[in-house]
């Protein structure tokens, strides 16, 4: 009896195996199926995604995208190469150079001439930045690229954020320095210690987890008025053609900033768990609306708290309230170490990250079709399908030809499951931001001014108005510098992100990071700041930051030289 | 005589009293232990039935605050690939457990034969495999040459023998008295007959244990599906699909690396915490349901006293 | 007590009967030899062939060049590892957590199995056992989230400590390096005790009930039965698992330390696996060579542990691996 059972089990499972190997490939013949892998986290689309099918009908290509799961980009790219099975399209993230070094990518050069849509993405100088050691282009960054005009409404970057209600309570004062910022946070938290549902407020918190410790780490760079080069300050006091790399970790500003945090921590104005909280705990905290202020980049927290902020909650007196109506939404402040300085928390213009991007692999059977497809994705009609959706289903057109969405459509596009079965952004393939080719609309719905305003809660609108700001970027109030034009090396993080441990500078960079990871929270909670700061600076010096700075200077100089050879001149 | 009886009775009474105290204390310990270990499971269950946006706020313990079945709908109904993954997982779990159990048992059998000439060296040969590992890249290249990548068999063939399981089974088999084997051999039985007819029936508890280990391993595995069958959706596994879903949910806030102007993306309506919880419960349930069938072997035990020395 | 032949006595008998190699014996057991040979072939293909990859540890491995053409760097990778104070520190951490985990999980799993075995009510026994192994199926992300949450300044632990006046201010457990190893060990116990006990429960079933009966006739009490029957009965299993797990002390893990650790704790929280990830797989360079070198180091240490402890077990006449 037993053996019989086992045999039937085996048979049943064999049957299961054979039945699913049999059913594959019943799709319409004129459409070519391709695959894409992006070494980032992302969401897979359902099979038979509606807009994907429409785009497939129009372009003749259907791409199945897959994403990073439980591996680092490096491991994933490594294992894909070793397994010998590459997708047709790939965005290798940090692994892009590895793919190039292994001759696995198809050069864009010939196809750029053939497909003007693609060529149009960048100027000649910009394309040159993508050239690899053999002089050819193998990938193109697809993000933050504005068609004609910069129309940014948001501030995706870093800032000291503060809840709109705090500013409102004191008549929208001008906040320029850390002292003013913490003063108002402390005052408000004393006067309004609880939310309507009885949750106690936290004046300020700061994430220190893993690589997101930039929330505590890089503020000194901004506080000194410099843009987000990410790894160093590039001082141009002697002119933009004589840039000098400066370490922002050892400046007086850095010391002042951390001393300020230390004092505020001692006063109880900083979340006692700031140094140990995980990202989930951090988001949970923010979602309750109890955190009045924080320093972070917008994308890292804002999207996650939108949902909780707009759902109704029960107050302790039984009434209902919503956090966004209460004014808990965060507005960005462009603080500086002294009042009255220029600052560049917001960077205008495009940030070109030449370290990674969308590529076609040598495994692709028809590279010409692949590039043709990428090019067609930039046709306005397809581009609208990708980001706006289907007319009358996902957006409406008013009599002036302007696109808009109804509340229901907006809600739909907030739903992950709706997007999984309906929308198809091909989000790691070439795309535009900015004004549409029709001159009326915008490439992305969130840039359409009417759509942007419709998405804001009342207290936020009032706050923007009070400061005379039209949007988030205005609110930050950075000096208008198109960094990419004025500073040819900008952003330098596209260099430091790609640093390996094969050079002394790379090793130093890694060790500096680990030292800061350990010491920055430690100096904030220290009972004896001066001693611990000195110990931190000693430990930091032990990482040989000069090795790193030397390489950073060389990177700046070489990018400058490239720009100058292309005719760049300081403004 | 009478004295002796009296002594025994008194002794027995003493034991009964001791027993009672022991039972009470033991029961208390067991109940406490159960409460402590049940908490994370109930907590996960509570999260899995909570509405996503609400759960982000934290503070859910044993009962959902805003009840919702949305998380389960998300993982069960809205992805076809999850059903495909479920089939593959069921297939590999059944086939993998049966084949692997047989392979492990046979190796354990020969290693537990006291007269086997290569007992020691073959044991060492397998022990080494537990600690020496060539690493991901060489293994991938090897499987590629063996045509195991882009195939279902990569789930079955490489993991057939596990030294750990073999050692556990071998130890159990060594505990079985030799007299049984010798008696059978006197009657002309070969090694295979001894294995199938004598050893196997006595080893059901350890077989059940190892079957459980192997089955749970198959049921939970996802890394192999990703590594070897990344671009072959027909061989995806349940856990890989769930894992992809979870990673994507955590990523739905968008954004690349620090400083990049990231792709804007929408607010997550489903949160990682609740979907993760639902996915966990969803995969735990079948094993918990099947467990009692295996449990009887190693909790109640077998009455094999009769065949012992 | 004579009936309770201990396992060690049995093993000693085995040693006495060690098979001698003779042609006649070889012929008699040809079936075993053939089966063994099949397993050797299988093992060579799937376990030993990939070890060719160890060559990578002595190279600057680049895919395009492959294992045979990459540039040779001799012992550079090992030199890099052992000249870094950090690496010495992560070995200490890994080893400490590995040993703590080994000792406590073994003791707790055995203790739980024995106590559970003493439960006489069947349904109660089954229920407790089912509940006990459930946390095994929760991922570390879930378990560490609960542990982490309980230990923050507003978590349940601090709430209790404050309530009973044991501390005046919330105690920052997760900022105190001294607490990290105990927390990790506890988390392991919490998640895995019930699961680890399954093997011991199965081993207990193999104990001959007659032994308990004769022990009872000899007047043994409950604790004596446990001591003289149950524990000797599962002793071979305990020994085998202990020996095998000795080799795993350097595999103390990755996820749990990664998830529970933070910047302040990095000097005690970082394990070898985390170190390797940080140094070889982040950023542009994928230095598989470094990871391979660390893997070789771990294998050498593991095998040394195993061989030494196996030798000791042999000397003491205990159950052993080979």
Final residue before a domain boundary, out of A432, A466, A483: A432
Quote the strand ranges of A211-309, DSSP E: 233-235, 244-246, 291-297
CA A297 to chain centre: 8
Same domain for A359 and A340 = no
Same domain for A271 and A212 = yes
Same domain for A165 and A77 = no
Q: DSSP readout, A335-362?
A: --SSTT----SS-BS----TT--BEEBT
Judging contacts by C-beta atoms under 8 Å, the chain B residues touching residue A12 are 94
Judging contacts by C-beta atoms under 8 Å, the chain C residues touching residue A208 are 262-263
A22 part of a folded domain: no
Same domain for A219 and A258 = yes
Same domain for A180 and A58 = no
Q: What is the Cα–Cα distance from A337 to A351, expressed in whole angstroms?
A: 25
Highest mean pLDDT among B46-60, B246-260, C100-114, C152-166: C100-114
* Mutate: best of B16, B31, B44, partner C, most C CBs <10 A: B44
The answer to whether the CB atoms of B257 and A413 lie below 8 A apart is: no
* Mutate: best of C61, C90, C284, partner A, most A CBs <10 A: C284
| Domains in chain B: ranges and CATH | 81-251 (1.10.3720.10)
| Domains in chain C: ranges and CATH | 7-19+79-315 (1.10.3720.10)
Q: Does residue A379 contact residue A117 with C-beta atoms inside 8 Å?
A: yes
Above 70 in pLDDT, residue B261? no
A97 part of a folded domain: yes
Same domain for A469 and A506 = yes
For the segment A245-298, what is each residue's pLDDT rounded down to a tens digit?
Answer: 999 999 999 999 999 999 999 999 999 999 999 888 898 899 999 999 999 999
Counting residues of chain A whose pLDDT is more than 70, the rounded percentage is 94
For the segment A499-549, what is each residue's pLDDT rounded down to a tens digit?
Answer: 877 789 998 999 999 999 999 999 999 999 999 999 999 999 999 999 999
Q: What is the Cα–Cα distance from C97 to C253, expressed in whole angstroms?
A: 9
> What is the band of A454 on the pLDDT scale with cuts at 50, 70, 90?
confident
For the segment C145-175, what is each residue's pLDDT rounded down to a tens digit?
Answer: 899 989 999 888 999 999 999 999 899 999 9
Give me the number of domains chain A comprises: 2
CA of B112 vs chain A CAs: smallest distance (Å)? 24
Question: What three-state secondary structure class fits A102?
Answer: coil
> What is the band of A217 on the pLDDT scale with cuts at 50, 70, 90?
very high
The answer to whether the CB atoms of A351 and B256 lie below 8 A apart is: no
Same domain for A248 and A134 = no
Question: What three-state secondary structure class fits A482?
Answer: strand
Above 70 in pLDDT, residue B174? yes
Final residue before a domain boundary, out of A398, A432, A466: A432
Cβ atoms within 10 A of the Cβ of A238, count?
Answer: 9
For the segment A39-93, what is each residue's pLDDT rounded down to a tens digit?
Answer: 887 778 888 899 999 999 999 999 999 988 877 777 888 889 888 889 999 998 8
Question: What three-state secondary structure class fits B141?
Answer: helix
Same domain for A477 and A335 = yes
The answer to whether the CB atoms of C145 and A278 lie below 8 A apart is: yes
For the segment A169-184, what is each residue's pLDDT rounded down to a tens digit?
Answer: 999 999 999 999 999 9
Residues of chain A numbered 468-527 and touching chain B (CB < 8 Å)? 491, 493, 497
Residues of chain B numbered 192-231 and touching chain C (CB < 8 Å)? 192, 205-206, 208-209, 212, 216, 220
Q: Which tops the pLDDT comparison, A390 or A280?
A: A390
Same domain for A366 and A327 = no
Q: Give the per-residue pLDDT at B9.
A: 66
A15 part of a folded domain: no
Q: Give the per-residue pLDDT at B5.
A: 64
Above 70 in pLDDT, residue B268? no
Above 90 in pLDDT, residue B299? no
pTM of the predicted model as reported, rounded to 2 decimal places: 0.86
Q: Give the per-residue pLDDT at B271.
A: 54
Same domain for A287 and A367 = no
CATH classification of the domain holding A255: 3.40.190.10
For the segment C49-60, what is each residue's pLDDT rounded down to a tens digit?
Answer: 999 999 989 988
Among all residues of chain A, which has the CA nearest to that of C171? A272
Q: Kindly give the residue spans of alpha helices, DSSP state H, lying in A279-353.
A: 279-287, 298-309, 323-326
Q: Give the per-residue pLDDT at B8.
A: 65
Q: DSSP readout, C213-253?
A: HHHHHTT--HHHHIIIIIHHHHHHHHHHHHHHHHTTTT---
Count CA atoms closer than 13 A to A98's CA, side-chain side: 31
The answer to whether the CB atoms of B44 and C43 lie below 8 A apart is: no
Q: What is the Cα–Cα distance from A259 to A526, expressed in whole angstroms?
A: 10
The beta-carbon neighbor of B171 closest among C49, C120, C240 is: C240
Q: What is the ipTM of this complex?
A: 0.87
- Domain with A386, as residue range(s), is 32-148+355-390+407-432
Q: What is the Cα–Cα distance from A497 to A510, expressed in whole angstroms?
A: 11
A88 part of a folded domain: yes
Same domain for A80 and A220 = no
Same domain for A291 and A197 = yes
CA of A355 vs chain C CAs: smallest distance (Å)? 9
Counting residues of chain C whose pLDDT is more than 90, the rounded percentage is 57
For the segment C182-233, what is each residue's pLDDT rounded down to a tens digit?
Answer: 999 999 999 999 999 999 998 998 888 888 889 989 888 888 899 999 999 9
């Amino acid at each position: 009896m037993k053996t019989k059972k086992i045999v039937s089990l085996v048979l049943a499972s064999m049957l299961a195996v054979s039945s699913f190997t049999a059913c594959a490939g019943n799709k319409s013949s004129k459409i070519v199926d391709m695959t894409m892998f992006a070494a980032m986290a992302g969401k897979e689309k359902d099979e038979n995604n509606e807009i994907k099918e429409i785009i497939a009908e129009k372009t003749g290509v259907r791409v199945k995208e897959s994403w990073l799961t439980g591996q680092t980009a490096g491991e994933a790219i490594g294992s894909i190469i070793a397994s010998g099975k590459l997708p047709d399209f790939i965005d290798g993230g940090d692994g892009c150079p590895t793919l190039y070094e292994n001759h696995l990518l198809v050069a864009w050069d010939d196809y750029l001439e053939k497909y003007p849509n693609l060529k149009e993405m960048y100027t000649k100088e910009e394309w040159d930045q993508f050239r690899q050691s053999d002089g050819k282009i193998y990938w193109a960054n697809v993000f933050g690229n504005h068609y004609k005009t910069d129309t940014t409404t948001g501030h995706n970057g870093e800032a000291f954020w503060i809840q709109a209600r705090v500013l409102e309570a004191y008549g929208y004062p001008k906040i320029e320095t850390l002292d003013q910022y913490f003063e108002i946070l402390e005052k408000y938290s004393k006067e309004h210690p609880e939310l309507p549902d009885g949750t106690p407020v936290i004046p300020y918190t700061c994430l220190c987890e893993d690589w997101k410790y930039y929330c505590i780490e890089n503020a000194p760079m901004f506080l000194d008025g410099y843009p987000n080069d990410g790894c160093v300050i590039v001082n141009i006091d002697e002119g933009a053609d004589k840039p000098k790399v400066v370490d922002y970790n050892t400046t007086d500003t850095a010391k002042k900033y951390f001393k300020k945090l230390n004092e505020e921590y001692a006063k109880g104005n900083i979340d006692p768990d700031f140094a140990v909280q995980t990202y989930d705990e951090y988001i949970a905290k923010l979602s309750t609306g109890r955190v009045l202020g924080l320093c972070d980049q917008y994308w890292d927290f804002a999207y996650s708290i939108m949902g909780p902020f707009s759902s109704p909650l029960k107050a302790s007196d039984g009434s209902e309230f919503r956090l966004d109506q209460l004014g808990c939404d965060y507005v960005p402040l462009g603080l500086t170490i002294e009042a009255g300085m220029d600052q560049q928390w917001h960077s205008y213009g495009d940030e070109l990250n030449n370290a990674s991007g969308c590529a076609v692999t040598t495994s692709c059977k028809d590279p010409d079709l692949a590039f043709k497809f990428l090019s067609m994705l930039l046709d306005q009609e397809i581009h609208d399908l990708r980001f706006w959706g289907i007319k009358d289903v996902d957006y409406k057109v008013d009599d002036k030809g302007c696109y808009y969405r109804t509340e229901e459509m907006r809600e739909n596009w907030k739903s992950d499951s709706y997007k999984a079965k309906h929308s198809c952004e091909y989000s790691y393939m070439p795309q535009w931001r900015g004004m549409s080719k029709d001159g009326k609309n915008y490439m992305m719905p969130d840039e359409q001014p009417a759509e942007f305003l419709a998405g804001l809660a009342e207290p936020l609108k009032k706050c923007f108005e009070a400061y005379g700001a039209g949007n988030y970027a205005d609110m930050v109030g950075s000096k208008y510098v198109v960094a990419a034009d004025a500073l040819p090396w900008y952003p330098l993080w596209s260099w430091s992100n790609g640093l390996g441990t094969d050079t002394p500078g790379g090793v130093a960079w890694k060790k500096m990071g680990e030292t800061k990871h350990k010491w920055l929270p430690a100096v904030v909670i220290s009972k004896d700041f001066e001693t611990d700061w000195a110990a931190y600076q000693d430990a930091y010096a032990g990482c040989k930051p000069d090795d790193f700075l030397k390489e950073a200077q060389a990177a700046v100089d070489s990018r400058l030289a490239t720009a100058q050879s292309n005719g760049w001149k300081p403004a | 005589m009478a004295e002796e009886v009296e002594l025994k009775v008194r002794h027995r009474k003493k034991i009964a009293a001791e027993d009672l105290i022991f039972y009470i204390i033991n029961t208390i310990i067991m109940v406490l232990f159960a409460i402590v270990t049940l908490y994370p499971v109930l907590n996960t269950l509570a999260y899995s039935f909570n509405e996503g946006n609400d759960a982000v706020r934290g503070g859910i313990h044993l009962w959902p605050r805003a009840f919702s079945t949305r998380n389960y709908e998300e993982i069960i109904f809205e992805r076809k690939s999850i059903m495909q993954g479920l089939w593959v997982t069921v297939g590999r779990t059944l086939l993998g457990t049966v084949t692997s159990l047989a392979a492990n048992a046979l190796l354990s059998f020969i290693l537990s034969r006291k007269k086997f000439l290569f007992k020691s060296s073959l044991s060492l040969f397998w022990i080494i495999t537990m600690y020496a590992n060539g690493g991901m890249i060489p293994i991938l290249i090897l499987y590629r040459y063996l045509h195991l990548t882009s195939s279902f068999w990569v789930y079955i063939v490489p993991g057939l023998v596990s030294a750990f399981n073999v050692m556990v089974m071998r130890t159990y088999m060594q505990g079985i008295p030799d007299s049984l084997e010798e008696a059978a051999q006197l009657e002309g039985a070969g090694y295979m007959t001894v294995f199938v007819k004598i050893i196997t029936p006595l080893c059901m508890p350890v077989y059940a244990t190892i079957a459980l280990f192997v089955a749970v391993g198959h049921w939970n595995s996802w890394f192999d599906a990703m590594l070897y069958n990344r671009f072959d959706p027909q061989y995806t596994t349940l856990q890989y699909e769930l894992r992809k879903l979870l990673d994507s949910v955590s990523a739905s806030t968008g954004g690349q690396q620090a400083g990049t102007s990231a792709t804007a993306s929408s607010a997550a309506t489903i949160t990682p915490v609740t979907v993760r919880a639902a996915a966990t419960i969803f995969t735990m349930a079948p094993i918990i349901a099947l467990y009692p069938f295996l449990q009887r072997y190693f909790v109640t035990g077998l009455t094999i006293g009769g065949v012992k020395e | 007590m004579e009936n309770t032949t201990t396992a060690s006595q049995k093993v000693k008998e085995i040693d006495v009967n060690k098979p001698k190699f003779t042609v006649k014996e070889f012929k008699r057991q040809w079936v075993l030899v053939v089966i063994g040979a099949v397993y050797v072939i299988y093992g060579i293909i799937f376990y030993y062939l990939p070890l060719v990859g160890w060559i990578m540890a002595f190279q600057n491995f680049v895919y395009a060049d492959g294992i045979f053409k990459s540039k040779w760097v001799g012992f550079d990778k090992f030199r890099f590892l052992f000249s870094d104070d950090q690496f010495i520190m992560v070995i200490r951490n890994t080893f400490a957590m590995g040993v703590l985990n080994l000792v406590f999980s073994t003791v707790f799993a055995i203790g739980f199995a024995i106590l559970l075995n003493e439960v006489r009510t069947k349904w109660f026994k089954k229920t407790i056992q089912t509940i006990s192994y459930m946390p095994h199926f929760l991922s570390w992300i879930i378990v560490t989230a609960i542990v982490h949450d309980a230990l923050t300044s507003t978590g349940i632990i601090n709430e209790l400590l404050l309530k009973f006046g044991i501390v005046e201010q919330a105690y920052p457990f997760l900022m105190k390096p001294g607490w990290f190893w105990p927390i990790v060990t506890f988390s392991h116990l919490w998640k895995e005790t019930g699961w680890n006990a399954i093997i011991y429960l199965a081993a207990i079933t193999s104990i001959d009930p007659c032994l308990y009966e004769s022990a009872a006739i000899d007047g043994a009490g409950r604790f004596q039965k446990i001591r003289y029957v149950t524990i000797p009965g599962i002793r071979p299993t305990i020994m085998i698992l202990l020996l095998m797990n000795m080799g795993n002390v350097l595999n103390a893990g990755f996820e749990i330390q990664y998830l529970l650790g933070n910047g302040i704790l990095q000097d005690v929280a970082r394990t070898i696996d985390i170190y390797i990830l940080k140094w070889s797989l982040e950023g542009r360079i994928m230095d598989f060579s470094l990871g391979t070198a660390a893997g070789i180091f771990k294998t050498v240490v593991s095998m040394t542990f195993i061989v030494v402890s196996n030798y000791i077990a042999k000397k003491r006449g205990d159950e052993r691996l080979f």
